[in-house]
Amino acid sequence: MRTQSPSLPSLPAFGPFEDLAGTQEFGAKRALDVALALSLLLLALPLLALITLAIVADSKGPVLFAQRRIGLGGRAFSILKFRSMTVLEDGADIAQAAPGDARITRIGRLLRASSLDELPQLLNVLAGDMSLVGPRPHAAAHDDYYANCIADYRLRHLVKPGITGWAQIHGARGATPTLKHMQARIDLDVFYVAHESLALDLKILAATPLAVLSRRNAY
């Protein structure tokens, strides 16, 4: 069992964490989030319309899928994604997607491989539940499990979750079949929490397109 990193604050019982974000740099990060998210949404409108039509034509069900995730300070929010599966799992027992997963639709495979299923999360960014950059939020059921297995897991909740992050540009995405896989991802998330800055966010944003195009661990 790992011990918590001494360079990071311990996470007390969940409550308001606004005091951790009351800096000028945080304000600049929020301004960047809003400006980029709004610009990307406007530019992507034709693509969003095409994806919507493709999902409707491919399988029955809603176009968007909402799932409970845990964000800053342990607060729950509903993350938005384009529906890529035939099921809408959001409860105490959620199976991670795996290569060849039969639940994934034909259009869903393309959306997940290209990360286009994540585009609706730009609305989460505008709402303030997420940032463009931060640890990827996991399903609430998975948070409960891994928080009991990995000592520094909850440190990721000291910052807003993101659409992309330090872990993602280093290939730590997709299923985590063992605790070792999840620990490797959490190590990267904790690094980001310890070094969070606008400069690091810009570096991650610049590296994200190449990470997406590589399709590493994307399914």
pTM: 0.83
Quick one: pLDDT at residue 14? 39
Terminal C-alpha separation, the chain: 30
Quick one: pLDDT at residue 201? 95
Quick one: pLDDT at residue 101? 78
Spell out the per-residue pLDDT of the chain, length 219, in tens. Answer: 443 433 444 444 434 334 345 567 788 899 999 999 999 999 999 999 999 999 999 999 999 999 999 999 889 999 999 999 887 766 666 667 766 778 889 999 999 989 999 999 999 999 999 999 999 998 888 888 898 899 899 999 999 999 999 999 998 877 777 889 899 999 999 999 999 999 999 999 999 999 888 766 654
* Closest by Cα among 140, 14, 145 to 67: 140
Write the CA distances from 192 to 15, 159, 197, integer angstroms: 21, 9, 9
| Residues 6 or more apart whose Cβ sits within 8 Å of residue 139 | 67, 68, 69, 89, 90, 94
Quick one: pLDDT at residue 124? 98
Express each pLDDT in 5-57 by its tens digit: 334 444 444 343 343 455 677 888 999 999 999 999 999 999 999 999 999 99
Quick one: pLDDT at residue 217? 60
Quick one: pLDDT at residue 11? 43
* Closest by Cα among 21, 134, 9, 116 to 70: 134
Percentage of the chain with pLDDT > 90? 58
What are 70's strand-pairing partners? 76
* Angle at which helices 24-43 and 45-58 cross, to 10°: 60
